Structure 1
């Protein structure tokens, strides 16, 4: 047995023992702290029902239907001239990017996984796509964080601008990821001829290949979406209980000290260390703890921006549960989240410091009442806003893609 094989076997044994003892510990701790486990499970359940379920299920269903009807293939051909040079991903990636920007995580993971299963992108392209489309939705940053937690509406523009710019920067960085594994899925219908004609051909071809009636497609979309949302709910509840258990057991103390040391080195208040520990696991609770910490607003804004970009191990668990069967690796995803967090923090520091006039220009009143998040009207407005954002984003990107295609076509005609 070679050294590499022995090392791999040794790591496999360690991982098996670690997972086994971790689950035993959590089980025993739940017996010792039943009230804390129950309360945290209810917190996770409320978060899933009030925030995740209502806002994501409609988009899960619609994305399934759009893919079955071939609309996503249509968009993919139109956006290939834009997405390929910038991010080195197929044009359909713009659909995942737009849905992720409007609806928030883990919408991007759901769509990327479907792309991979339907052979609309390669494994490495899926990893690149997942690296920069994992974003928070604007309503969360403007409404929940800026207004609901910090009480500073103007902060929303700064956080959102830093979040999305750093996300695109991650996309540009990860366009070079996996060059040695790059094998584009080529299709003769998507490489020659008029781009609009090719788009409609791709739509028709996908619909013919799918070969399901609309009623079958609708039923399958609802069934698949409900399975996904229930899976996400299970992970939210699990991580809520896990975070509470390790907290009451005192296992987060060493993380608290480690983050306090890092914050002191950076010149930040060590009072933010507990918020970083919470945000490491769960975003919403971490953002709330950051807003309540005794620290300057600038430092709190930088930390919450980094936490939103990181998104929390709870979201990472949801993403892992979604992509586990598609062959997409989690390593590049974790690396991208760390880079995203660092860049978002730096951008926030710049926007609130040397170039704070940028955020002021982009600030606008936020018509968002956090006191009515459980009402039907609230969620209808949320879905409406997200839908408008998807349409606007896709419209802008499609226009840019067509312009790029026309310029290229004109350039080749002149050369001939």
Structure 2
């Protein structure tokens, strides 16, 4: 970790970003037509898939923070998330948004919470690691039904994606800094006031400290959400151009020659296609998922190794989203190197889990009623296309899913608080 920290020092990061910007400018000058078409592809992906998925949740996060509801919700979720992950209850809201809207919505929320002092550095870094997820819409609808023409395959990928993230979160919990985890973020003891009393007290206190009128708050929330989305769109367009420029440098050809020389039973064209798909997935998750699904065979008959590589790329998340996370947390002391380490861990766990559980999970979902559950999206069985499909119709289902996830968390948290209070009473 110390070596990685020195590698990603501010000076090196500045140098790397400067070199990337220079490479981007050179690519645009040398290949203007290609740069234009690539940027349009990134813009299309942003407008049709990312913008509708993130905008409601970015606005909602800012609104709830200003109204004090975000702080109060943390009180209700405190028992569950302190027990499970050793983070404040407000982390439940982050996880609900990350699970519903996908990356980088969690990072946007965590950056604001850390600046407000609602999370310690260690808590913020662990939440940032586990909240960098793809949404069920992407995994099941786009990758599963759209790219692979198989809802069971999408469900299996989703189970592995979220299961590996949970395993990583539990591993990080065991290494949590106990000195910082012992306190509640609200600095209140359970015996000081009742559960609901603390909820109302926190709500009123946070609302009074914010002080903005509802109209002002709404305007700020919309402005902030749109501004964040423009940042995301800019990164997506930039990395789309870089992605198309890489093959022109001869890098893929050089790597292909090495792979063909080392692996005797793979052809030149097959190696080039596979390396291009892997490179695409390393840089951009959505385009990488599409490229990788074109390399693996049908879910029922293909080797698990190709799907393990696909799972690892989905867990990695792509350098494009990593840059977005960096921009949302740049004003905080959250260490980016720890986030990158978590991405490698998530990818490794997802790779191993896919090798072990791909066929059993696929068979289970194929034999069960899972396909009928996702019948409303079966119209995409012809394949996903940015020209024909978009994410706007999914806004209402995603908001319903978000509310359902929060409700389940609240019920479990109340149950956990009841058990804790009951156990404390018996000891007394």
Tell me the TM-score normalised to structure 1 length: 0.88
CA contact (8 A) 1:190 1:202 kept: no
Q: Give the Cα–Cα distance (whole angstroms) in 2 for the partners of residues 9 and 409 of structure 1.
A: 47
Range with bigger deviation, 288-297 or 237-246: 288-297
C-alpha distance 356-151 of structure 1, shift in aligned 2 (>3 A): closer
Q: Give the Cα–Cα distance (whole angstroms) in 2 for the partners of residues 218 and 259 of structure 1.
A: 55
C-alpha distance 55-17 of structure 1, shift in aligned 2 (>3 A): closer
Please, which of 388, 397, 400 is the counterpart of residue 412 of structure 2?
400
- Give matches, 1:135-214, under 5 Å: 135-177=133-175, 179=177, 182=180, 184=183, 186-189=185-188, 191=190, 192-214=192-214
Q: Give the Cα–Cα distance (whole angstroms) in 2 for the partners of residues 73 and 263 of structure 1.
A: 56
After superposition, the C-alpha distances for 1:272-295 in whole angstroms (9 at most, x for unaligned) are 333111100011121111111165
Aligned to 2:226: 226
Aligned to 1:317: 323
- Give matches, 1:9-408, under 5 Å: 19-177=17-175, 179=177, 182=180, 184=183, 186-189=185-188, 191=190, 192-253=192-253, 272-293=274-295, 295=297, 296=302, 298-354=304-360, 356-360=362-366, 361=368, 363-365=370-372, 366=374, 367-368=376-377, 369-370=379-380, 379=391, 381-408=393-420
After superposition, the C-alpha distances for 1:103-130 in whole angstroms (9 at most, x for unaligned) are 1111100111111111111111110001
Q: Secondary structure at the match of 2:371?
A: coil
* Structure of greater relative contact order (alpha carbons < 8 Å, 6+ residues apart): 2
Is 1:414–2:406 an aligned residue pair? no
Q: Give the Cα–Cα distance (whole angstroms) in 2 for the partners of residues 8 and 174 of structure 1.
A: 22
CA contact (8 A) 2:365 2:371 kept: no
TM-fit CA distance, 1:316: 0.6
C-alpha distance 20-411 of structure 1, shift in aligned 2 (>3 A): closer
CA contact (8 A) 1:77 1:190 kept: no
TM-fit CA distance, 1:347: 2.1
TM-fit CA distance, 1:226: 1.4
TM-fit CA distance, 1:252: 3.8
Q: Secondary structure at the match of 1:302?
A: helix
CA contact (8 A) 1:352 1:359 kept: no
CA contact (8 A) 1:190 1:198 kept: no
After superposition, the C-alpha distances for 1:325-344 in whole angstroms (9 at most, x for unaligned) are 12211111111111111212
C-alpha distance 16-188 of structure 1, shift in aligned 2 (>3 A): closer
CA contact (8 A) 2:86 2:176 kept: no
Pairs aligned (count): 407
TM-fit CA distance, 1:150: 0.9
Q: Give the Cα–Cα distance (whole angstroms) in 2 for the partners of residues 299 and 281 of structure 1.
A: 21
CA contact (8 A) 2:292 2:310 kept: yes
CA contact (8 A) 1:141 1:156 kept: yes
Range with bigger deviation, 225-234 or 17-26: 17-26
Q: Give the Cα–Cα distance (whole angstroms) in 2 for the partners of residues 158 and 262 of structure 1.
A: 32
CA RMSD of aligned residues (A): 3.1
C-alpha distance 130-263 of structure 1, shift in aligned 2 (>3 A): farther
CA contact (8 A) 1:256 1:274 kept: no
Q: Secondary structure at the match of 1:151?
A: coil
CA contact (8 A) 1:282 1:313 kept: yes
TM-fit CA distance, 1:48: 1.1
CA contact (8 A) 1:122 1:185 kept: no
Unaligned residue ranges in structure 1 (runs of 5+): none
Tell me the TM-score normalised to structure 2 length: 0.86
Unaligned residue ranges in structure 2 (runs of 5+): none
Q: Give the Cα–Cα distance (whole angstroms) in 2 for the partners of residues 29 and 298 of structure 1.
A: 37
CA contact (8 A) 1:61 1:225 kept: yes
